Chain A
């Protein structure tokens, strides 16, 4: 398109910008405004309170826990999901027997509705009736059953595990596709130079798919941070606040306790924390990318 095609640029953008403006930005700006008012269901007359709700939220005992949990949850899921997705992609790219079928079956968790996934896994984790403990005990790894979701020490790890189980096929798919595009001649050259599988991976494959990793991380970062179903159904943010993250807190405060102003404030904080996470990741990624020699 050239400069004089500007009208086309705007005509093409118009529907999307209108929709996002009206249905995402307008409600979100309303939520931001609401966060400066002390509104709740039981006192419907909005009262302007400036930063008071922000101070209240910042000073509450739970706030730092929720920020911390959100960060752990998001990083845990994103890193593990991408690692597992990557290694699965490498494994399923070796031309092993049965590869085609397994490639397809691996996608199953991705298409299962979130609520069903969580109900299924809540049962899997059940200390008495669940399959997880039953398998561990039969394999002789444990003598007694463990209550994975009921202990503050293990609950976060347990919910992250479920999210990774559900999410890694998506990452795998993207990496699998990226691997198809890695230059075969470079791989062969590296092999001739005597590079082992690991060296080839680090020197040839990773640089070649660096951009894919960036996009994959940012996309899963955003989707995971705002993911609600799994944590809500598995633990409702418990035990205590061990798995309370921003989406569960916003929902519980707004719809569970009728406090809309405070829920709006958590919503604003939630976007800030997420934006910071994305920014940190992009900056770190760019910085390390610049220092890395091109393979």
Chain B
């Protein structure tokens, strides 16, 4: 791109403004996480605490935090794998079948995205209780797979629609079975879309709160978003520890995100190109 010098200066200024817009709240979050509990908040707000300390991180990194962390990893990890596998299977059917009923069912999948969670949580809870699954990983994984599947199917279907069907047709002429075509041709080609969907599911489930709260009762089973509320009482919030924990909660996802960024971008576009 050719740009005059003044355009370039404006662009760089805009980029800096953008970074400030995004990062200022984070900067403050870190600032609060370093503030000793005894240091009151100042008027006007102080950008950096007078006596920064890591004590909030020490408190926040308690044994419970590690338990919550492991729980979150297990629940999110399993949900990602199951959602992506089931979503890919369904998306393949939705993208290749030319039947009216399939179109109708796809409409049903899109509609299911619109259900408000607080309107379905009690019946959902009753089913989990009937199945004796409350306070287990399974209950959360089932819930997360169910609520993320519609978007996953949608994203993956868009991606599969963009893959050239000719490859599959050629393989079919060569006598390959449909199942083999799926495993050996479609799945490898779908990798960027799979990773995009996986990151989406990871981010959603890593933050999920309502189901995690309702289905777990013991500290041993809680996930990170619920665990953060340990610092929120009826009569006050321990901002320092809450923010220290939040920094620690965000880091793993950011790390995964940085690692997978390239694929995520590619996958999302492909999925998005054909809605």
A: interface residue count bin: 35 or more
B23 closest partner in A (C-beta):
A105
Closest chain A residue to B209, Cβ basis: A115
Residues on B close to A: CB < 8 A? 1-3, 8, 11-12, 14-15, 18-19, 21-26, 28-29, 32, 41-45, 47, 86-87, 89-90, 92-94, 96-97, 99, 102, 105, 108-109, 111-120, 122-124, 127, 142-143, 145-147, 149-151, 153-154, 158, 172, 178-179, 182, 203, 206-207, 209-210, 224-225, 228-229, 232, 237, 239, 242-243, 246, 249-250, 253-254, 257-258, 261, 264-266, 268-269, 271-275
Min C-beta distance of A94 to chain B, whole Å: 6
**Is there an interface contact between A23 and B203, defined as CB atoms closer than 8 Å?**
no
In the complex, which residue of chain B has the Cβ closest to the Cβ of A111? B253
In the assembled complex, A275 has its CB within 8 A of some CB on chain B: yes
Contact with B along A206-222 (1 / 0, CB 8 A): 00000110111011001
Chain A contacts for B120, CB-based, 8 A: 24, 27-28, 31
Residues of A within 8 Å of B117, CB to CB, are 226, 228
Interface residues of A (CB under 8 A from B): 1-2, 5, 8-10, 12-13, 15-17, 19-20, 22-28, 30-31, 88, 91-92, 94-99, 102, 104-116, 119-121, 123-124, 128-131, 133-134, 137-138, 165, 169, 173-174, 176-178, 180-181, 191, 211-212, 214-216, 218-219, 222, 225-226, 228-229, 246-247, 250-251, 254-255, 260, 263-264, 266-267, 270-271, 274-275, 278
Q: How far is the CB of B65 from chain A (nearest CB, A)?
A: 14
A138 touches B122 (CB 8 A): no
20 residue pairs from A and B, CB less than 8 Å apart: A1-B97, A16-B89, A17-B105, A19-B146, A20-B109, A23-B127, A95-B1, A96-B8, A96-B15, A106-B19, A108-B254, A113-B249, A133-B44, A173-B264, A177-B265, A212-B273, A219-B154, A246-B116, A254-B122, A270-B116
A-B contact count (CB 8 A): 255
Known pairs A16-B87, A23-B142, A228-B118; A116 contacts B11 (CB<8 A): no
